[in-house]
Structure 1
Amino acid sequence: MGKITSLQFWSVYFVFIFATTIAFLIGSLGQNAQYDGWIVILSGAVTGTGLVSLFIAFARKRPGDYLGEYGREIIGKYPHLLIMLLFSLFNLHLSAYIIREFLDFFSQTYLRDTPQWAICLLFTFALFCLIQSGCSNLFRFAQGCFIFVGLLFLVKPLFFLESLDIEMLKAFITPHEAGIIWDETYLITPWYGEMIIIIFILPELEKPMKSIKMLWLASAAGTYILLSEYMIMIGFFGPELSGVLTYPALELARFISLGDFLQNLDPFIVSVWILALFVKLSVIFYTGVLTFSQAFAIGNYKLVSLPLTAAVVGLSMVMAHNPSELTAFFDQSWAAFAWIVECSPAVYVIVDYVKSRHAKRAAPVPGS
């Protein structure tokens, strides 16, 4: 089986940053942060990427071993089991959330007469087949999708330059509210911290020692996409309307046309965005299955992938009665849960440091 190349790793994290954010989360950020949102995005990018970098630096001490397997040697069997199950629950729950958001969007917009369960089964069947192919093939698929996703979203802001209201853009440099920036940074940082999952698949990387460099490069590129989408959204709709619209960034796609050749690029842009969404969902779900199998020392993660797929399907169907309830939960509670999970690897770092210090003190002094 091949290794994950630096370009494949970069492609996945680039897509990770904005795949779900621009569709499901950016509207509430616009309503809450308004013209301070660009500062929030930048501060969240630095904080979240920095947090992930610290834990990758720790995992690189043993680049050929899985943290999910040797972690019990550091903190003990049961604390390690607890952290691994916490990570698995986090990723499986996040997978169910992404599936549910996709179902709500797709069934309301394109397949109104199709039952959600039918869409869900078809979507998750493709997901199940992809993760069965292995981690390297999953990232290779992501690299192929990046050719379409990256090109589209890198050039998409250029279509709006002539239509933007320059006077409205000046509002982005008005006096800023420190309290709002602090509160919203707390909420947005976990969006970047989701890539903490890389510490569990580090041995799959072809060049693990370059992972932090590629992480920051991908974070910078993804943040460019997020910033440009946010500023265009505020420039077109304003903060209040952006918060009211269910999918404000996707609404922007209807303003793009290529002269008389293509009057509406909405279907094309949505299709490419679904590719990005599927890439992120696949990596998150794969990590949830992998950490679950490693928690119980199951040698082959494929043995538990089918029952966990069924569990995620069931959870996605019952986790909320309507889109508003789902959005309210993630606006109010998800960030705290994500912070706890994404900071939990600090337990390994602290215990390993204490053990190393103790071992150095206990070691005999040469010549004594």
Structure 2
Amino acid sequence: MRQITQQQLFMMFSIYLFTSTLGLYVNFVVNTSGYLAWLSVLLGACLSLLITYFSYSLAKRRPDQYFVYYGRGILTKWIHYPLVVFITICLLFITAFILHDLEDFIIQVYLPATPNWAIAVLFGVCFAVAVRCGIETIFRCAQGIFFISILGLLATPFFVKKEMDVDMAVAFINRFDFAQVWNGMWANASLYGETAFILYLFPKIGNPGKTMRTISGATFTATVVILMNILPAMLIFGPNLMANMTYPELELIRYIHGSTFFENLDPVLIALWITGLFIKISFLMYLIVMNLAQLFSLKDHKPLTLSTAILIIGMSLFVVGSTAETSELISNGLIGMIILIEVIPAFYLLVDRIRSFKTAKPK
């Protein structure tokens, strides 16, 4: 049953966290926090560990059982099953939203004038195959690109250091704005806090007692990678320009002027980003399929894979209509929705502990 090693867990979540943040949402992070993006990233990472700890604490109380099955014993099935359905619908929406952003990325960078549906179908087939192969395959894909992804992103700042305006660095400290830090913290917590989804696959994790330590290590690694790319980009572009760029990290890579070889690094790193996003979407889709299979008491998740992939593809084509709508959706609802489904396990944990205390209390 326990197919996932702690090493695989560390590598997968490290890639899971920094790939989408740097590839798709770094402009939103900077737009929210300005020069204090570094502080909001750090605080968001710390808050996400607290959120994940609640999920971990709930999962380790029944390490060999799936949440969908034992949750009804905590909140009764009349509350539990609607909550699981709500969580699954939210995961569907999040997955479709990320797929839509991936489609836009491919169209703008590589395949202009290509219809969204063609790209969505091509990727959807890949996601369906990955999910049918099982969670172990998804984690092994992350292992395969981990080191080259880390090295590529950590090396980038050293190749653009001549372009940085170091005098701007003082603004990282003297431009403090509590509202910006507060909003940025929650935005980053929603991105980092997806590590709380370990609750849904805890029985598949080997040596589960070390899971929280592994998640903390992955969060730290992702934070270092993100900051080592955000800070140089802000020293080159400034927060205002960076916030209005569609893909600031891509523009940062194009500032490399070391030699002919390094000037053409962007296709390599873009390929790694796409692979990282493929891993993230496949992981989320696997959680959706697993939750649905357990809700319907199916022994195998595979029969639901293709239909779920088709549903996600369809949703990705209509979830938003433009880049402006994407930014508005993130600001006005998506962050709150993600935080909500991440903290639901904390409510289960509270009720479970109260019930355990009442049961253990002598009459």
Say whether the fold is shared (TM-score over 0.5).
yes
Match of 2:44 in 1: 44
- 1:157-236 superposed matches below 5 A: 157-236=157-236
Report the CA distance between 1:336 and its aligned residue.
Answer: 1.2
What CA distance in whole angstroms lies between the structure 2 residues aligned with 1:199 and 1:253? 36
What CA distance in whole angstroms lies between the structure 2 residues aligned with 1:317 and 1:301? 25
Listed one character per residue, the Cα deviations across residues 62-107 of structure 1 (whole Å, up to 9, x for unaligned) are: 2111112111112111211122112211221111111100111111
Any unmatched runs of 5+ in structure 1? none
What CA distance in whole angstroms lies between the structure 2 residues aligned with 1:254 and 1:213? 36
Match of 2:146 in 1: 146
What CA distance in whole angstroms lies between the structure 2 residues aligned with 1:41 and 1:61? 31
1:80 counterpart letter in structure 2: H
- 1:18-167 superposed matches below 5 A: 18-167=18-167
Match of 2:263 in 1: 263
Listed one character per residue, the Cα deviations across residues 102-151 of structure 1 (whole Å, up to 9, x for unaligned) are: 11111122111322211111111011000101112221122112132222
**Cα distance change on mapping 1:185 and 1:120 into 2, 3 Å:** same
Q: TM-score, with normalisation over the residues of structure 2?
A: 0.95
SS in 2 for 1:321: coil
* Percent identity over paired residues: 28
Report the CA distance between 1:299 and its aligned residue.
Answer: 2.3
1:15 counterpart letter in structure 2: I
Contact 1:87 1:291 in 2 (8 A): no
The answer to which of 10-19 and 156-165 deviates more is 156-165
1:231 counterpart letter in structure 2: L
What CA distance in whole angstroms lies between the structure 1 residues aligned with 2:268 and 2:197? 30
1:235 counterpart letter in structure 2: L
Number of aligned pairs?
363
Q: TM-score, with normalisation over the residues of structure 1?
A: 0.94
SS in 2 for 1:201: helix
1:86 counterpart letter in structure 2: F
2:98 counterpart letter in structure 1: I
SS in 1 for 2:254: helix
What CA distance in whole angstroms lies between the structure 2 residues aligned with 1:203 and 1:14? 21
Any unmatched runs of 5+ in structure 2? none
Match of 2:295 in 1: 295
Report the CA distance between 1:175 and its aligned residue.
Answer: 4.2
1:52 counterpart letter in structure 2: T
**Cα distance change on mapping 1:162 and 1:324 into 2, 3 Å:** same
SS in 2 for 1:3: coil
What CA distance in whole angstroms lies between the structure 2 residues aligned with 1:160 and 1:110? 24
Match of 2:244 in 1: 244
Report the CA distance between 1:258 and its aligned residue.
Answer: 4.4
1:330 and 2:317 correspond: no
Q: CA RMSD in A?
A: 1.6
Contact 1:149 1:275 in 2 (8 A): no
What CA distance in whole angstroms lies between the structure 2 residues aligned with 1:54 and 1:157? 35
What CA distance in whole angstroms lies between the structure 2 residues aligned with 1:252 and 1:7? 30
Match of 1:12 in 2: 12
2:248 counterpart letter in structure 1: P
1:157 counterpart letter in structure 2: P
